[in-house]
Amino acid sequence: MTSGRIIFLNGTSSSGKSSIARELVDILDDGVFFHLAVDGFNAMRSKRELGTEELDAALRRTRMGFHRSIAAMAEVGNDIVVDHVLSEPWRLLDCLTVLRPEDVLFVGVHCPLDELARREQARGDRTPGLAAHQYDLVHRHGDYDLECDTSTASPRECAQRIKEFLPNRPRPTAFADVT
């Protein structure tokens, strides 16, 4: 069985990853793609109040489960669009242990800080300052196969660019070289 392709979108909260992912699932026509979002996994968790230590442990387990769900879906041949925030080094390291690098197109989703703050405020469903906190963390690992700036291109334009790039992704991919 052939492993599925993984389009891995990494960026801060409110950078436009989910919007790009929805567009990709709509326009990609050479397979069946699934959008797996870390926010979707977080939303499945029970809503009872947790102490800081208990919440941190639950979030870590949630993200580890998310990474393994991506791997399991791809392993049986599903094509995946991943929407994630690699704001802690262990998240990337964990992904590198469970995902086949040759299957991953690694896409950096960028947006200037002032626009992120504006989007965050307009959304109203994010902790103020979350994107600013993540801003210097999510891209510190280095290279991508492709990068998009959602302040200068619409989600549809970013998705189209990714679609056109996908058949020509480099070998090895940037995901294989990330440290």
Tell whether residue 13 is among the known ligand binding residues.
Answer: yes
Tell whether residue 15 is among the known ligand binding residues.
Answer: yes
Whose CA is closest to 16, among 107, 140, 142, 90? 107
Tell whether residue 18 is among the known ligand binding residues.
Answer: yes
Tell me the residue ranges of DSSP E strands in the chain.
6-10, 33-37, 79-84, 104-110, 146-149
Tell whether residue 17 is among the known ligand binding residues.
Answer: yes
Instruction: State the residue for tokens 């440290």.
Output: 179
Tell whether residue 154 is among the known ligand binding residues.
Answer: no
Tell whether residue 11 is among the known ligand binding residues.
Answer: yes
Return the active site residues: 39
Cβ pair 110, 150 in contact under 8 A: yes
Q: Which helix (H) or strand (E) holds 71?
A: helix 52-75
Residues at the annotated binding site? 11-18
Residues at the annotated binding site for ATP? 11-18
